[in-house]
Copies of this chain bind each other. A is one copy, B any other.
Amino acid sequence: MTLDEIYRRGAEVMEAKGLTYNLEGVETEFVLRHNEEVFTRYMFRQKAINSIEVTTRTRLLDIELQAPIIMSSISSPIPQIEEDGLLKVARALKEAGSMMSLGTPLSSNLKEIVEVGVPVIQTVKPFTDRSIVMDWISRAEDAGVTWVGIEVDAGLGTRRVRGCSPMSVDELKEIKQKVSRPLVLKGILSPWDAEKALEVGADVIVASNHGGHTIDYLPHPIDVMDEIVGVIGSDIPIIMDGGFRRGADVLKGLAFGAQAIGLGRPILLGLAADGEEGVKAVVTQMAEELRRVMIMTGVKDPASAHRGILL
Seen from chain A, the residues whose Cβ lies within 8 Å of a Cβ on chain B are 3-4, 27-28, 30, 34, 39-40, 42-51, 152-153, 155-156, 165-169, 172, 185, 187-190, 192-193, 196-197, 214-219, 223-224, 246, 248, 289, 292-293, 295-296, 298, 311
Contacts and interface: CB of A to CB of B under 8 A. Distances in A.
Contacts of A165: 51
A34 B311 CA distance: 13
Given A168-B50, A248-B215, A155 B292 contact: yes
Contacts of A46: 153, 187, 189-190, 193, 218
A295 B156 contact: yes
B248 A166 contact: no
B218 A43 contact: yes
Contact of A169 (B49, B192, B196, B295): B49
Contact of A48 (B28, B48, B166, B298): B166
Contacts of A217: 39, 42-44, 248, 293
B248 A27 contact: yes
A157 to B, nearest CB: 9
Contacts of A43: 34, 217-219, 223
